[in-house]
Every structure is written in C-alpha cells, then in structure tokens.
Amino acid sequence: PKRGKVAYLIDSKKPYIIDTLYYNIENDSIRALILETRQKTLIKKGLNYNIDLFEQERKRIEFLLKDNGYYYFSKDLIVLDVYSNKNRVSITLNIHHSKLPKEYYPYFYKAMKRYTIAKIYLHTNYNRKKILENKVKYRSTLDTIPFTNDIYIVNRGLSPVNPKILLKRNDIIPNTYYSISNVNRLIDY
C-alpha cells in the first residue's frame, strides 16, 4: 500500500583505456610463440578496460600453446597485472612461476614442457561401458597389432573399420608436437 519513487543519478565517468601491454614470460619458447602472434592479441592499445576481453585473451593463449605441444598448459597460469594512472591502464601479461602460489609450482613446470607424440594406438572397436565395468578384464581381451613403427591397431576380434581409412583421416603423427587442433579434428570424424 505504501509507494515511493526513486531517482538514480549515475556518473559513468570516463572509461579506463588500455595504454600498454607488457609480457613477463619465463619460458623462452612460449614467449617466442606468444610474441609471434601478438598481432592477434585481443588486448589492444586504445580499447576500453574489459575483464571479459582479458579472459578471452587467456583462452586464446591457452589454445595457441596447446596447439604447439604444451599439453598441460592452462589459462589459469596466466596472471594479468593491471596498473592505472588516471584513465590509462598498463597491463603486464605474466606466465611466470613467481606470480603463482608455491603449491602451483610443480604443475607450472610440467605445463612449461613441450610434448611430442610418441606412439599412436587406434582402438577400432572401443567400448567405454565395458572398460568402465572392468578395466583389467577388458584389456585382457584386446590384441595390439603393429601397423607401422609407431602406429598400433588395438581391437578385439575383427576390426569394424579398415585401419587404412582411419589413418587417412588422422592428422596426429608420431614424433610431432601435440596439437589440440589435430585431436579435435580426429574426434569430430
């Protein structure tokens, strides 16, 4: 029964503008990869300060590194330091152990290693349900047949798919760096 009126006065001020972006990257190879692609960065001079943009940039870098052999890399290892002076913002993108809690150090150093594909095992009649029921029993029923030096066919009985067809669609090659793009393409087939 009681009513009132409220009037809001919003003073939006001037937005903070990105002025500079610095890189503090401990690993030389990772630094080189990121700097090679810095023209693709989403954090650009003159743009408004935007936390969502920073998160997208962290995801972009995570994908870039996972596509170039850094299997364990995570966007959570990227720490952004933001410094403001009036309405100008300087940002430092850190991939450095000193910016993380000490309990992250083992994971950090594991994520800084570049991984290559050693061998490929193609399961032609993989049954997730049966492996979850009894992993040991399921594995004991499998045959592993060398197809080439580093590629093996794993199946039970006759393969429902010709392995040569699978290999034609496979972009994952032994002795090359891990690439999440190649993995995603194979999964999409």
pLDDT reported for residue 33: 96
Alpha helices by DSSP H, listed for 27-75, are 28-36, 51-66
Confirm if 156 and 125 have CB atoms less than 8 A apart: yes
Give yes or no for residue 34 having a pLDDT over 60: yes
Q: Which runs of E-coded beta strand occur in the chain? A: 17-25, 79-85, 88-95, 120-123, 143-146, 151-155
Average pLDDT over residues 71-89: 93
The amino acid occupying position 45 is: K
Pairing of strands 151-155, 120-123: parallel
Give yes or no for residue 133 having a pLDDT over 90: no
Q: Which residues contact 107 (CB under 8 A, 6 or more apart)?
A: 72, 77
Could you read off the pLDDT of 139-168 as tens digits, one per residue? Answer: 787 888 888 788 888 887 766 677 777 777
